[in-house]
Structures are given as C-alpha cells and as structure tokens.
A and B are shown apart, each in its own frame.
Chain A
C-alpha cells in the first residue's frame, strides 16, 4: 500500500543533541512538508520541498534543517539551536504544488520529547 512512513514514533533528545526524524513516501508525490504541532495548537509549517534538491523555509524554520536528496525522502533534523523542541512532528506530501484541490497526505507523526 502507498503511504507516508515516519520514524521513530517516539524520540527523546538530550540537551545539546541533534536528532533526525525520518519521513519516507512511496506515493510518487513531488511536494513534501514538515509541520510542528504543540498541544492544543494548530499545525505550523517548518520546511517544505517542491522538488528534489530544493526546499524552502516555513514559518518556524529556526533550529531545524532538512534535505531532499531523493524524491521519496525528506528527513528533518532538530538541532541543538531549537530550544523548545518538545512537540508532535508531522510529515506530509502532496502530488504537486500549484494544482487546486491537491490534498495533503500525512504520516503518523513523531512525538519528540526532551530528557
């Protein structure tokens, strides 16, 4: 079955540590996104990528980095510069940017907590 796979489901970070969240999709979608969700809040865009080897900052990119070396993969690194990383992280994809009613498909999320 096609879909988006995020791993791990739960992740713990020590102070000063960088951690990487994995996101893989086999939907052949061009666009991929990373969102952060805090308790009781909506989703906020961290980074997005429309094509391989290209990505743009979202609204809250500080303290995060991404890469898009393959169409299927869009890993997110939470760096030590992100002082409040505890949140639920969601990866998503869509067929392509620019077509109306293109829907977002989500992975099951990663809960990141600070030790």
Chain B
C-alpha cells in the first residue's frame, strides 16, 4: 500500500463548479498535512496547511480526519486559473515529507 494515495483523476469540470479532492495516508503517526498546487513543469507551491479543526482560505476548504487518516480539499466556484495538479503531502514528526501522486484538475470554460 502506498503511503499517500489520491484520487487518480483527471477531473474536468466547468467554471463555477465545486470540486473535491480526497487523500488517504497510511502512517497513523503523521503529524503535518498540506495541499500543494503544481502547474505543468513548474515547482509545487503551498496551497494550504491542513489543521485538525479544518481550515478555509477563500474558495478553498481543507479537512482532516485523523481517525480515518483522510484529508480533503474542496474548491468552490472554480476558476480557469485553478487548473493544475493538486498534491497531498504528509509529514511525520521529525521525518520527511511524503507526496501523493497528485490529482490533475482542468477547469473548462
């Protein structure tokens, strides 16, 4: 079983749609959780850290369920500029960052 798994994608959605990404992780000792965004052939950029209580940043909402070892990212009112690959990243205390394979999103006009 892979350490971090994500929806295989790609997701093709119309502008204005709401889209949800799912991620599961295998190590119950994982401490920190993040969503990164990566445009084609560019470096990943931090979108959001994911906190236990859940957090929101504008159109983006992240949730964490430690019991189920599950992380989600919700994008509301999607824009053309949201088209990218979304990477789920998990970090164990004192250890390294483990990346999921990513889910590609295409927002269509």
Contacts and interface: CB of A to CB of B under 8 A. Distances in A.
Interface of A: 33, 35, 41-45, 48, 58, 88, 90, 94, 97-98, 100-104, 106-109, 111
Contact of A107 (B41, B43, B93, B97): B43
Given A41-B101, A45-B96, A98-B94, A104 B87 contact: no
B22 interface: no
A2 B100 CA distance: 28
B27 interface: no
Contacts of A58: 96
Contact of A106 (B34, B45, B101): B45
Q: How large is the interface on B (under 10, 10 to 19, 20 to 34, 35 or more residues)?
A: 20 to 34
A22 to B, nearest CB: 15
30 contacts: A33-B96, A33-B97, A42-B4, A42-B87, A42-B99, A42-B101, A42-B102, A43-B44, A45-B96, A48-B96, A90-B44, A94-B97, A97-B94, A100-B31, A101-B32, A102-B32, A103-B34, A103-B46, A104-B34, A104-B44, A104-B89, A106-B44, A106-B45, A107-B43, A108-B42, A108-B43, A109-B41, A109-B42, A109-B43, A111-B41
Contacts of B72: none
Contacts of B36: 104
